[in-house]
Amino acid sequence: MSRIMMLTVNDKQHELVVAANETLADVLRDKIGLTGTKKGCELGDCGSCTVLLDGKAVNACLVLALQAAGRTVKTIEGLEQGGDMHPLQKAFVEKGAIQCGFCSPGMILSSHSLLQKNAAPDEDEIRRAISGNLCRCTGYQKIIEAVQAAAEAGARGLTDPQT
């Protein structure tokens, strides 16, 4: 059975017809066309589908689309600022934290969620924040360095506290 729902994604309102069994990841990719949200394991283990739901990092493969009705979603595409990459995205590029790129959207959004709660996390806090995201390429150290660099840049006023 399908239902009509309203969903705000990256500050844009969407009216969608969704089936009761459709996941948020499916709707974002297939109905809205935001393919930055990756589908990996589809079991909530890899974190490649991580998005921010009302500001909290969640696995979009585990959230039914109807559970997100009336709520706010931010995907990796929604982090850009005036056509430029978000400072966290830039830090990932500059520190070499992106290799194959499959895990990057989830890693970045999990890190973004952390930095919204804690502008100066230590390495253990960063590791905990990204612990639900699997990476096969980087060995995680460059990811941690990127988050640390973004946190330091934020301390100098380079990040937008609203995003």
Q: What span, in angstroms and rounded, lies between the C-alpha atoms of 96 and 155? A: 21
Mean pLDDT, all residues of the chain: 93
Q: Which two tokens stand for residue 94?
A: 């500059």
pLDDT at 158 over 90: no
Q: What predicted TM-score, i.e. pTM, was given to this entire model?
A: 0.92
In order of their start, the domains of the chain are: 2-78 (3.10.20.30), 80-155 (1.10.150.120)
β-pair type (2-9, 12-19): antiparallel
Q: What span, in angstroms and rounded, lies between the C-alpha atoms of 151 and 88? A: 8
Q: Three-class SS string for 83-145?
A: CECCHHHHHHHHCCCCCCCCCHHHHHHHHHHHHHHCCCCCHHHHHHHCCCCCCCCCCCHHHHH
User: For 72-105, what is each residue's pLDDT tens digit?
Assistant: 999 999 999 889 999 999 999 999 999 899 999 9
Q: Which residue has the tokens 């931010």?
A: 74
